[in-house]
Structures are given as C-alpha cells and as structure tokens.
C-alpha cells in the first residue's frame, strides 16, 4: 500500500540529479587540495609563482628570442608571441592535426609540445614553406586540385603532407605497407593511412589525396 507521505516528496528528474552531481564533482575536484589540508587542520601552502624562462626559437630560418612561461605550448608561442597564425588551434589535444609544423624536418603537433623543449631547434611553419612568390609543390598541388573548402585545416594538411612525403622517400613504412624491403609507393591507401592524423571536417579528402599523389610521383 502506498504511503501518503510519498506525495510530500519533491519531484526530482534524472536530468536534475545528473546536473547536480556534475556540479558537485567539479567543485570537489577544484577544491580538493584545500579540502585535504582543511581536514588535516592545516592551511594549504601558497603556490610559488612560475618564473618565465628565456628560449630561442628558430622559426623558418630566423631566430626569435622569447621570454615565456615554461608551460607555453609551441603552438601558443607561434600564434600569440610571434603572430604566426597559419598553424591553427583546432582541438588543442593533438587529434585534428591543424597545428602541424615541421621540427627538424619531422612533422609534429605543435599543441602537444612545450616551446621551451625546442630551444635552438629548427622549426618550419606554413609561413616559411614557399620561396618568395613561388609556392611549395604541395601548396601548388592543393590549389590545383582544390584540396580545401573552408581552409581551416589546410595549413596543417599541407605541412603534414610535406613531412609525410619525405618520410616515405626515406623508406619509413606505415601500418598498411605490404613489403617492408621495397621502396615505399604512395598509393591512395598509403596516403590515407599516413594522413589519418589530419582531419578535414569539410570532407575534401579525395582532392587532398590527389594533390599529394601528384607531388609524390615526381622524383625528388
């Protein structure tokens, strides 16, 4: 038999329970250090300020002396301190590839590495790829094959393609490489596998593949 007192209980939806739990969990995580010290009867120690450090970044052949918070990512150093905004901040988690640059010739996600880790190393961004008014072959191929739509991912796609073509010419295999003893041939499967870390939300992949194949088929 149903107790009449049940009718006095407030109606709570599942959504309200989840929202309340999420807010409480966030508050707990935010204040966890302070709460731990409070339970122990002591005050949380004050965090020491982070001192900036001097770093020299060699970008596109030019040395730049910067004083940075050591927690600054290479991507933020490029965009916020050097106004090199070709490298885009998409996901900021190394999942989209829009921030790809070349570090000593090898492609990396600049959002996943700290600027201070690359003091003195050679870094190439999309701004340094062309020679004056002459586009890099990959840039020219992207224009010819219309390998972009909105263009947000394009700089990262191009930088990744440049690094990937060089990797294949050096004999570096991929997950889909069949014969590890033969020279790498960049067919469609190889290109799609090797470029899988670069996402194009517009879906211009067929044109991107065509552009890369055109450049890859030209002898180095």
The predicted-structure confidence for 47-66, as pLDDT tens digits, reads as follows 788 899 999 999 999 999 99
What's the pLDDT tens digit per position in 142-180? 999 999 999 999 999 999 999 999 999 999 999 999 999
User: Has residue 1 been placed in a domain?
Assistant: no
Same domain, 98 and 60: yes
Count structural domains, the chain.
2
Mean pLDDT score, 123-139: 96
Tell me, what CATH number does 192's domain have? Answer: 1.10.150.120
Domain endpoint, select from 128, 149, 166: 128
What's the pLDDT tens digit per position in 77-103? 999 999 999 999 999 999 999 999 999
**What distance lies between CA 117 and its chain's CA centroid?**
16
Same domain, 122 and 153: no
Same domain, 159 and 102: no
User: Has residue 25 been placed in a domain?
Assistant: no
Model pLDDT, residue 47: 77
For the cut 70, the answer to whether the pLDDT of residue 5 exceeds it is no
Instruction: Please name which of 53, 55, 92 lies closest in space to residue 76, comparing C-alpha atoms.
Output: 92
Same domain, 218 and 136: yes
Same domain, 115 and 143: no
User: Has residue 63 been placed in a domain?
Assistant: yes
Tell me, what CATH number does 101's domain have? Answer: 3.10.20.30
**What is this structure's pTM?**
0.79
Model pLDDT, residue 154: 98
**What distance lies between CA 159 and its chain's CA centroid?**
12
**C-alpha span between 164 and 129 (Å, rounded):** 15
Model pLDDT, residue 79: 98
Q: Looking at 19-23, 33-37, 136-140, 166-170, which range is the least confident one?
A: 33-37
Model pLDDT, residue 6: 53
Domain endpoint, select from 83, 106, 128: 128
**pLDDT > 70 fraction of the chain, expressed in percent and rounded:** 80
Q: Which structural domain, as residue segments, surrounds residue 135?
A: 131-220
Model pLDDT, residue 220: 73
Same domain, 110 and 149: no
Same domain, 124 and 159: no
Same domain, 72 and 121: yes
* Structure tokens that stand for 188 in this block: 């469609």
């Amino acid at each position: 038999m149903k107790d009449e007192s049940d009718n006095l209980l407030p109606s709570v939806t599942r959504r309200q329970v989840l929202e309340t739990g999420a807010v409480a969990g966030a508050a707990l995580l935010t204040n966890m250090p302070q709460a731990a010290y409070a339970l122990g009867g002591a005050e949380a120690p004050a965090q020491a300020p982070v001192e900036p450090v001097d770093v020299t970044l060699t970008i596109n052949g030019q040395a730049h002396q910067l004083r940075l918070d050591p927690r600054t990512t290479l991507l933020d150093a490029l965009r916020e301190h050097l106004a090199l905004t070709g490298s885009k901040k998409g996901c900021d988690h190394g999942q989209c590839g829009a921030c790809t640059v070349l570090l000593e010739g090898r492609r990396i996600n600049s959002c996943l590495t700290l600027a201070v880790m690359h003091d003195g190393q050679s870094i190439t961004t999309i701004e340094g790829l062309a020679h004056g008014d002459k586009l890099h072959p990959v840039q020219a191929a992207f224009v010819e094959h219309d390998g972009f739509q909105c263009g947000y991912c394009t700089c990262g796609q191009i930088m990744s393609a440049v690094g990937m073509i060089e990797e294949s010419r050096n004999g570096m295999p991929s997950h889909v490489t069949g014969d590890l003893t033969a020279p790498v041939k960049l067919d469609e499967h190889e290109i799609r596998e090797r470029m899988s870390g670069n996402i194009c939300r517009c879906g211009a992949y067929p044109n991107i593949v065509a552009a890369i194949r055109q450049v890859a088929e030209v002898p180095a």
